[in-house]
Structures are given as C-alpha cells and as structure tokens.
Amino acid sequence: MIAHEPDGPAGQVGVRLAERGFDVTTHVVTTDYDQPNTSAPFPAFDDYDVIAIMGSIRSLTNKAEIDSWVHDELELIRSSHAAGQPVLGVCFGGQLIAEALGGAVEQSPTTEIGWHEIRPTEGKTNPIGPGPWMEWHHDRIIAPPEAEVLAENDTSVQLFTIGSMVGTQFHPEVDLKHISDWLETADDEYLATYGQDRHAILAEVAEHEARNTKQCHAFVDWFLESTGAV
C-alpha cells in the first residue's frame, strides 16, 4: 500500500486484501503535513503482487510542492503498467495512474465531499454498482486515451481501467475511523467553505458504514479478478 500521508491508509481495501490472503504492508510517503516535499524513498514496486495507491491532500495541479517524490511515483506506475502488474489507484492514486499513462488531472469545477451515486459511461457496464460512494476531491481525472472509462457522474470520471490497472475518483476504503482521522486535519473554516460540517459528515459515514464495507469488499474482489491478481 502507498499512503501519501499518515491519515491515508488503505482502510477497508486493506482489510479485504488481507482477507483474500495478501500480506499487506504500508509505505507512508510523507509524515509531516507542513513539509510535503520531505519524503521516504519508494520501495521497488516489482517486489509486490498487487499495489494499492491511496489518496492525498496534495494535488497534481501543484507538483512543485511534491516534486521530490511525485515524479518517481509516476515513473513507478509506468514501469508497473509495462510489466502488467495489478495496481489500484484511489482518488489521488487514480489521478496518478491517469497522468502517468497519458491522461491528465485538472481542477474540478465542483468540489465533491459526501456520498454520491455513479452511473455507467454510455455504452459500458458499471461492474461495481451505483453506490453511493464516498467522494472527497477538488481535482478530477481526464482518462488516458487507451483507458476504458466504466463509470462517471456529472462531475468526473469515476472508474476506469487501463491494462491491469484500475483507477477511481471515489473512496471505496472509508469507514468511520478513516473519516474521523481525515477530519482531524480539516479545520472548520475549510469545511464551511464547501458547506460541510464535521458532525454531519460523521453521522452520514455512520449511516453508510456497514453498506459501504460490503460494497468495498466486493469492489476489491472485482479488482483482483478483473486484473488477474487472483
């Protein structure tokens, strides 16, 4: 697992991978929120059967604050793609896959925070269901030309595949502890800017947690089977 900050682990994605027999380890890229360019060197991706690249508070539209590590991560993704290694990218992780393989990331016209349904892209089948899935993003994915976009909403590409890689814009991994940890680093002014309240966010997570855990585990199963990881 690649976690870009301490509060960004794999959550229920990691739980399900462990249940499926994988030995889950986590590499934390940065540990000081005030020093985003101070990072730990990445492990060699080819040492792992599956890679999950999780979200981040950082943005690929501002590479200057993360240029000590982001270009290395993009190159690792390209190497994994060439090798046919199964990789799951969640939110920022999905954006990294898109940018590494010929797509792009841009600021989204709409910030999404909360639970939103996704729909199949025209002519495609959404293999993981409409959700609702948890969204928390300010940027959005422009899929690589060779990618197959499977699901979207009015704001963004939400699910795409390219080779043995899967990218999402939503967060399948969340549970109550996960969101509680995120909120520790989100001040009330930031939340109010986007019409959010921490107590309401936590109440919604509690409402969705059991259902989301089931759909996350089903999503991980689909990822493993569709990429040939199992």
Identity of the residue numbered 207: E
Length of the chain: 230
Characterise 11 by phi-psi region: left (phi > 0), alpha (psi -120 to 50), beta (else): left
- Catalytic, 91? Answer yes
Question: Which positions ≥6 away from 212 have C-beta within 8 Å?
Answer: 12, 133, 134, 172, 174, 175
- Catalytic, 173? Answer yes
Catalytically annotated residue among 5, 91, 152, 208:
91
For residue 143, the model assigns a pLDDT of 98
Tens-binned pLDDT, residue by residue, of the chain (230 aa)? 999 999 888 999 999 999 999 999 999 999 999 999 999 999 988 889 999 999 999 999 999 999 999 999 999 999 999 999 999 999 999 999 999 999 999 999 999 999 999 999 999 999 999 999 999 999 999 999 999 999 999 999 999 999 999 999 999 999 999 999 999 989 999 999 999 999 999 999 999 999 999 999 999 999 999 999 98
For residue 8, the model assigns a pLDDT of 85
d(CA 10, CA 46): 19
For residue 168, the model assigns a pLDDT of 98
d(CA 34, CA 159): 31
Q: What are the tokens at 14?
A: 């990691």
> What domains are there in the chain, each with its CATH number?
2-226 (3.40.50.880)
For residue 185, the model assigns a pLDDT of 86
For residue 35, the model assigns a pLDDT of 96
Comparing CA positions, the residue from 124, 160, 115, 126 lying closest to residue 141 is 160
Catalytically annotated residue among 171, 178, 208, 217:
171
For residue 46, the model assigns a pLDDT of 86
For residue 204, the model assigns a pLDDT of 96
Q: pTM for the whole thing?
A: 0.96
Comparing CA positions, the residue from 217, 184, 211 lying closest to residue 14 is 217
Comparing CA positions, the residue from 24, 4, 5 lying closest to residue 13 is 24
- Catalytic, 204? Answer no
Catalytically annotated residue among 152, 173, 216, 217:
173
Comparing CA positions, the residue from 61, 62, 65, 78 lying closest to residue 29 is 65
